[in-house]
Structure 1
Amino acid sequence: MSVADRLVVCASHSPGMMRDVEHVLGRSFRSGLEQVRGMVEEFDPDVIVLFGGDHRRTFRQVVPSFAVALSAGIMAEAGREAGELRVPADRARALADHLLGSGFDITVCRDIELDHAFAQPLHDLTAGLGVYPVIPVAINCATAPLPRPERVLEFGAEVGRFLDGIGDRVLVIGTGGLSHSPPSLEVDTHDMSDAERARIIAAGYAAAEQKIKPEWDKAFLDALSSWDATSLTELATVAHEQAGAGANEVRTWLAAGAAGGGKPFECIAYEPVQKWITGMGVAVSGR
């Protein structure tokens, strides 16, 4: 199996988008997602490898830089019900063994509850959480210290080497970014209650609407379009300072692109949506 049998999709996520049930905002971005969803349906993957971050809800006291889930569910959030992921345990375990054997001291997780970082791309790009088998791969993008972008690229490339040998058509997803700075991630803490999180978000939401950085987003998407690994690494290194705490999530894009063989991406849509406090982008590689 080769990278020709791999489709890579990177897309932003936002709870604000989930709450916008009437689809009032972000119409250009939503149109791009629909286009990419058609690509996914045509590709019809055997399995999805989903690189996602965390918003300090799943990983609190213990925060792994890289983790592979052998079983996982989705927590109820933003009006959506909880659900289960179809994690192929043998495949996920084989990936974990491969990574460990290749020098990545990853964490293995069982029966964890993941949030919208993993749920939203599955809802946006497929017909639901359980349509395809999914291997969730978590990358710490929220709680310092974060893995270096260079190491994230190496990690993604090693996942790609594993995928080369499994004989499946694989959809690789990276989810998060682009520029945004959620108030709850601006607070340097490893743990907070849901009530405290809601209070902090409400107090800082208006300010967060003004923190989208389209110039940084464009620079990142331009580097992605030629798979300029040097520029991507440099931009990810300064993401927090230049594009907000949530921009650290582009580490998942780096991992996904590397797992797809480091091929250039096509930007399908980009739209800064203030009410979602995020620069919303979707890009594909390998089609």
Structure 2
Amino acid sequence: MEARLTCLSHTPLKGYFDPVPDVVDEVANLVAGLRAELEAYDPEIIYLFAPDHYNGFFLDAMPQFCLGIAADSVGDYQSSAGPLDVPRELAEACATAVVDDGIDLAVSYRMLVDHGFAQPLEELTGTLARYPVIPIFINAVAPPLASFHRARLLGEAVGRFARGRGQRAMFIGSGGLSHNPPVPQMATATDPVVIERLIAGRNPTPEARDARQARTVAAATAFAGGSSGLHPLNADWDQQLMKDLAARDWPALDAYRNADITDRAGASAHEVKTWVAATAAMDAASGGAWQAEVRYYREIPEWIAGFGALTGAAAL
């Protein structure tokens, strides 16, 4: 089989509050190159690891990991709404194999996903449903949170399953790096409306979604202008993480602790667990016979993000 990996930051702020045109073009050129590589590879199946931002998963029942047997995008920010092309029998078989491999994985036959899933699909493939995809959610916003170690084990189980299927597989990790957008937390929420939204905020009105998006844009404007109390970006942490991933230094990655991640890189930096899982899946699928490459990094305060990309390829 063949296998490919793409780990890529996402941001809902593209087109709402952008950096200078040179940086926008730089990122656009990066994404265009990654898309061309994916299209040339023409995967038979994409395994997409991504988070959610209280658009599809809520505190009425928050799994650490969930695989979608069927999935629809909610269409937040500029992402499209509609179904993903999830091959049901393959998704069910993958879920069974991962659970049999010792991972406590939830499944959903009606998964709702947001820009964390939709943006990489649309940017790297053109649409939500150009290729068959197995969407795998990793909780990155709602404590208690799984560790890097558990994310690695999840990825390895998915990678072993993919290796056994023998298809041209693409592993995508979506999210991160350091960032701390204004996502409310149950531990500090006091407004009953906010608390209810965290517990069961599915299917908001268009007005409520617009208001939420406007708050995010306002937060980005303040952050880029230096008048925000949000956690700063941390280029040193971001680049060390990508270095550890590229080296597949699993002991170093397993040693990352959740409290330290939040303290050094921000509460939403836990999205990088999708990169850990995708890289581990790639490693297991290829039997370790592959090379990783850091393709891009830049701090982009307008997008409240340390923005990066890491790729890898193997031919077996």
TM-score by length of 2: 0.83
Residue equivalent to 1:275: 302
How far apart are 1:234 and its partner, in Å?
3.4
| Deviation by residue 1:159-186 (Cα, 9 ceiling, x = unmatched) | 1110111121011100000011011156
Residue equivalent to 1:227: 248
Which one of the candidate residues 7, 12, 16 is aligned to 1:15?
12
- Could you say what secondary structure the match of 1:19 adopts? coil
Matches within 5 A, 1:145-156: 145-156=144-155
How far apart are 1:198 and its partner, in Å?
4.7
How far apart are 1:205 and its partner, in Å?
3.5
Q: Is the 8 A contact 1:29 1:282 kept in 2?
A: no
- Could you say what secondary structure the match of 1:17 adopts? coil
Which one of the candidate residues 45, 48, 56 is aligned to 2:46?
48
* Residues 177-186 or 57-66, more deviating: 177-186
State the AA in 1 paired with 2:3: R
| Deviation by residue 1:35-70 (Cα, 9 ceiling, x = unmatched) | 111110111000100001111221111111111100
Matches within 5 A, 1:62-73: 62-73=61-72
Residue equivalent to 2:130: 131
Residue equivalent to 2:269: 247
Measure the CA separation in 1 of the matches of 2:19 and 2:139. 32
How far apart are 1:187 and its partner, in Å?
6.3
Matches within 5 A, 1:179-198: 179-185=178-184, 188=187, 191-192=197-198, 195=208, 197-198=212-213
How far apart are 1:235 and its partner, in Å?
4.2
How far apart are 1:79 and its partner, in Å?
3.3
Q: Compare CA radii of gyration and give the structure with the larger one.
A: 2
Measure the CA separation in 2 of the matches of 1:233 and 1:175. 19
- Identity over the aligned pairs, expressed in percent? 33
Gaps of at least 5 residues in structure 1 are none
How far apart are 1:197 and its partner, in Å?
4.2
Measure the CA separation in 2 of the matches of 1:187 and 1:207. 24
RMSD (Å), alpha carbons: 2.3
Measure the CA separation in 1 of the matches of 2:25 and 2:12. 16
Residue equivalent to 2:237: 216
Gaps of at least 5 residues in structure 2 are 190-194, 227-231
Measure the CA separation in 1 of the matches of 2:155 and 2:249. 15
Measure the CA separation in 1 of the matches of 2:118 and 2:36. 18
Matches within 5 A, 1:38-117: 38-60=36-58, 61-117=60-116
Residue equivalent to 2:31: 33
Q: Is the 8 A contact 2:148 2:256 kept in 1?
A: no
How far apart are 1:269 and its partner, in Å?
1.3
Measure the CA separation in 2 of the matches of 1:112 and 1:162. 21
Q: 1:49 to 1:187 in 2, by over 3 A?
A: same
Instruction: Kindly tell me the number of residue pairs found equivalent between the two proteins.
Output: 284
Q: Is the 8 A contact 1:183 1:205 kept in 2?
A: no
How far apart are 1:22 and its partner, in Å?
11
